[in-house]
């Protein structure tokens, strides 16, 4: 079922590295936020018994205009009750084969990817080791970066550019520190049940086997805000509507957000996002 949810909300994603756009509404005398994704409201609909849902909508991030980025962008997001992240990866694969005429996707775990390209297990490496590998690849950054930050740097600089040229690549089972709103599976090495999709070196989609425990989600939101404070970034109000929905009961489900502007770039063979937008934010 197609749904529509608000672009403005009282709560927003607390990810420490997301730059969210606040909007002051005089009538309510309260600050709202332009949504970086319709995720929170769509999960509230799932908890209310909507069943499978999708949405094609605008999303916003206060970030640069670049080859693959515009502060205002279009997302296709959908949720499938009863799916885990592997089942949803199969559906995304079918979607890409139908829309982009791609071959069947290759699935690879986060650990196997790092072992293939960089020769180490990302679930066991500490910040010192990661900094060493970054230096080996001529990456010089702030020595105070945390493990998850070094992992992101190594992924974007050393691995991403090589992914998805013969067929889409779906990376799954990320480090537990990258769980965001995904479940964490308590294996010998705990992993986040999330996945990302790459086509021709472009990150195209991000999906989760959704976390349903409201207490754990609240703890993650609060931990994010502590990091934001340490980084001298504003705290984001917790979305208590979402937390209440999780408490009432979110069905076991998986969801994914796919960037439509990047999808159109790939379909059109465009080299820059401005080629597929009538107006970039710089031109708006």
Q: Give the pLDDT confidence of 11-43 residue by residue, as tens digits.
A: 999 999 899 999 999 999 999 999 999 999 999
What does the pLDDT read at residue 125? 87
What does the pLDDT read at residue 86? 97
Give 64's pLDDT tier (boundaries 50, 70, 90).
confident
What does the pLDDT read at residue 127? 85
Look at 53-67, 129-143, 224-238, 263-277 and tell me which has the smallest mean pLDDT.
129-143
Mean pLDDT of 96-101: 98
Look at 127-131, 142-146, 241-245, 260-264 and tell me which has the smallest mean pLDDT.
142-146
Radius of gyration, CA atoms only, the chain: 19
Percent of the chain with pLDDT over 70: 99
- The pTM of the full predicted model, rounded to 2 decimals, is 0.94
What domains are there in the chain, each with its CATH number? 8-105+167-275 (3.30.930.10)
Give 174's pLDDT tier (boundaries 50, 70, 90).
very high
- The answer on pLDDT for 99 being more than 90 is yes
What is the rounded (10 degree) CA torsion for 175, 177, 181, 183?
50
CA angle 62, 67, 69 (to 5 degrees): 25
Locate 177 and state its tokens.
Answer: 């520190």
Mean pLDDT of 95-115: 97
- Mean pLDDT estimate for the chain: 95
- The answer on pLDDT for 135 being more than 90 is no
Mean pLDDT of 233-258: 96
What does the pLDDT read at residue 143? 65
- The answer on pLDDT for 148 being more than 90 is no
- The answer on pLDDT for 264 being more than 90 is yes
Q: How far apart are CA 272 and CA 258, in angstroms?
A: 17
| Secondary structure E strands in 48-190 | 53-60, 72-81, 106-109, 169-175, 184-185
What does the pLDDT read at residue 118? 93
First to last CA, the chain: 32
Element (H, E) at 259: strand 253-259
What does the pLDDT read at residue 258? 98
What does the pLDDT read at residue 142? 67
What does the pLDDT read at residue 1? 98
What does the pLDDT read at residue 140? 80
What does the pLDDT read at residue 105? 98
Mean pLDDT of 133-137: 88
């Amino acid at each position: 079922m197609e749904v529509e949810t608000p672009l403005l909300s009282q709560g927003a994603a607390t990810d420490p590295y997301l730059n969210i756009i606040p909007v002051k509404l005089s009538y309510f005398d309260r600050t709202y936020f332009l949504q970086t994704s319709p995720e929170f409201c769509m999960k509230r609909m799932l908890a209310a018994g909507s069943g499978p849902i999708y949405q094609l909508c605008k999303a916003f991030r206060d970030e640069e205009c670049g080859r693959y980025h515009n502060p205002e962008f279009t997302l296709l997001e959908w949720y499938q009750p009863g799916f885990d992240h592997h089942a949803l990866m199969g559906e995304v694969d079918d979607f890409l084969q139908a829309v982009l005429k791609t071959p069947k996707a290759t699935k690879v775990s986060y650990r196997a990817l790092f072992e293939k390209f960089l020769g180490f297990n990302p679930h066991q490496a500490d910040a010192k080791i990661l900094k060493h590998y970054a230096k080996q690849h001529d990456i010089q950054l702030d020595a105070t970066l945390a493990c998850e930050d070094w992992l992101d740097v190594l992924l974007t600089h050393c691995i991403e550019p090589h992914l998805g040229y013969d067929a889409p690549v779906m990376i799954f089972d990320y480090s537990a520190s990258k769980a965001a709103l995904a479940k964490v599976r308590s294996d010998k090495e705990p992993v986040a049940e999330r996945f990302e999709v790459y086509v021709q070196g472009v990150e195209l989609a991000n999906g989760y086997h959704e976390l349903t425990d409201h207490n754990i989600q609240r703890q993650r939101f609060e931990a994010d805000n502590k990091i934001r404070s340490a980084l001298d970034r504003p705290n984001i109000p917790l979305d208590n509507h979402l937390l209440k929905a999780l408490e009432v009961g979110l069905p076991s489900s998986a969801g994914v957000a796919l960037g439509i502007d990047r999808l159109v770039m790939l379909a059109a063979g465009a080299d820059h996002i401005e080629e597929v937008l009538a107006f970039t934010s710089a031109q708006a």
